[in-house]
Amino acid sequence: MALTEEQKLVTEVWRIVNRTYLDDTFNHQNWAAVRQKVLSAALTDQKAAYAAIGKMLKSLNDPFTRFLDPEQYRSLQVNTSGELTGVGLQIALDQQTGKLEVVTPISGSPAEKAGIRPRDRIVKIEGVSTENLTLDEAATRMRGPIGSLVTLLIERDGEGQKEFRVPRDRISLNPVVAELRTSPQGVPLGYIRLTQFNANAPMELAHAINNLEKKGAAAYILDLRNNPGGLLQAGIEVARLWLNSGTIVYTVNRQGIQGSFESFGPALTDDPLVVLVNQGTASASEILAGALQDNGRATLVGETTFGKGLIQSLFELSDGSGLAVTIAKYETPNHKDINKLGIKPDQIVASEPITREQIGTELDHQFQTALELLAKNSVVAAKAA
């Protein structure tokens, strides 16, 4: 008997997991029997198929092996590709009011050119109230073909509401924030915050380090706090920017086969480095932190990291939906398996509730500890002399 479209999709997912999933016991269950059970149920429409796939994957007890409907899959691709077509706004929901707020317009974007500012509130997008929209829904409504216009009703303190018609364009997502600071001892210091590992991260970080070197940076603080990770390859390439040599990470698949990624050098800088981590530092961020710690390249400050030592591969399914499957686990250069354990920093400093504006200021205790450590480092003192 021929399979229905819904049954074909379920079978497609089952086969991918059967072929690639890290745990060949499939969470100690008969994987073939799971498939039979799902196919024996009535899958009347796409929604039923998606629910059945979700249930099938849930039996693996792995939160990272998951089904993505077409919209979620497209959204993930946009985030990791580092490029989208839209107006160029970073947005957030204000925790107190629940209103949709502009964090910042991306530099050089149509939104910045139109005069939209940080802290502006987006009241309507194309006449639709943002009151009940999720962040994803709001972002999706602002994206669209290059050259098309989007109408935003903006509310600004002291100025009331104003309508902006903004053209959409190709926006490059830069996950790097970098600036030259001066330590209390007068040492020029490169402060770099990396927010995620998208396809642009290695190039943007290299650009930031080179700029800071030209400006005379004698030491660095790399801030990986609340960086959820992203592309494995981006994490490896970023590690290579800091390391002259050494193993970056080992990967182990279900056959127990170990692969490794090495650094070939030369590093862009040999200056002293402190890396800030916390419980939100995960995945590719932990690969980078582990590589820099185990190779003796950096001192880690903050809290034990999230503990996601599993590697996922993304598969596109026949109907435009997607599937993320855990295909391997990784170990740090010293063969530490960090899954569910995380990476312990060299110096533990608890996080405190601070706002986005207070990151990297006197109120940021983890940042202040990093400054103190670099001040004690005689190399920095010598360079500053």
- Which pLDDT band holds residue 119 (cuts at 50, 70, 90)? confident
Write out pLDDT tens, residues 150-174: 999 999 999 999 999 999 999 888 8
What's this model's pTM, rounded to 2 decimal places? 0.83
* Residue 78 placed within a domain: no
- Please tell me whether residues 216 and 186 are part of one structural domain: yes
Residues in the chain: 385
HSE-CB at 18 with a 13 A cutoff on CA atoms is 12
- Please tell me whether residues 303 and 345 are part of one structural domain: yes
Q: Is the pLDDT score of 147 beyond 90? A: yes
- Please tell me whether residues 16 and 45 are part of one structural domain: yes
- Please tell me whether residues 212 and 231 are part of one structural domain: yes
pLDDT at 346: 97
The residues annotated as belonging to the active site are: 283, 294, 308
HSE-CB at 368 with a 13 A cutoff on CA atoms is 10
- Please tell me whether residues 226 and 372 are part of one structural domain: yes
Domain extent, residue 134, equals: 84-172
- Please tell me whether residues 215 and 332 are part of one structural domain: yes
- Please tell me whether residues 285 and 308 are part of one structural domain: yes
pLDDT at 380: 42
Number of domains comprising the chain: 3
Query: Among the listed ranges 100-109, 187-196, 219-228, 230-239, which one has the minimum average pLDDT value?
Result: 100-109
Write out pLDDT tens, residues 210-263: 999 999 999 999 999 989 899 999 999 999 999 999 999 999 999 998 899 999
Q: Residue 163 is part of a domain; what is its CATH number? A: 2.30.42.10
Tell me which residue has tokens 């409504």. Answer: 141
Write out pLDDT tens, residues 41-89: 889 999 999 999 999 999 999 989 999 999 889 888 887 888 888 999 8
Q: Is the pLDDT score of 303 beyond 90? A: yes
Q: Residue 374 is part of a domain; what is its CATH number? A: 3.90.226.10
Q: Is the pLDDT score of 383 beyond 50? A: no
- Concatenated DSSP letters for 311-325? EEEEEE-TTS-EEEE
| Phi/psi-derived region of residue 342, left when phi > 0, alpha when psi is between -120 and 50, beta in every other case | left
Write out pLDDT tens, residues 330-370: 999 999 999 989 999 999 999 888 877 789 999 999 999 99
Q: Is the pLDDT score of 377 beyond 80? A: no
- Please tell me whether residues 233 and 305 are part of one structural domain: yes
Q: Which residues are CB-neighbours of 161 under 8 A, at least 6 positions away?
A: 123, 153, 154, 155
What is the average pLDDT across 185-209?
Answer: 95
- Please tell me whether residues 230 and 326 are part of one structural domain: yes
- Please tell me whether residues 97 and 130 are part of one structural domain: yes
pLDDT at 105: 86
Question: What mean pLDDT value characterizes the chain?
Answer: 92
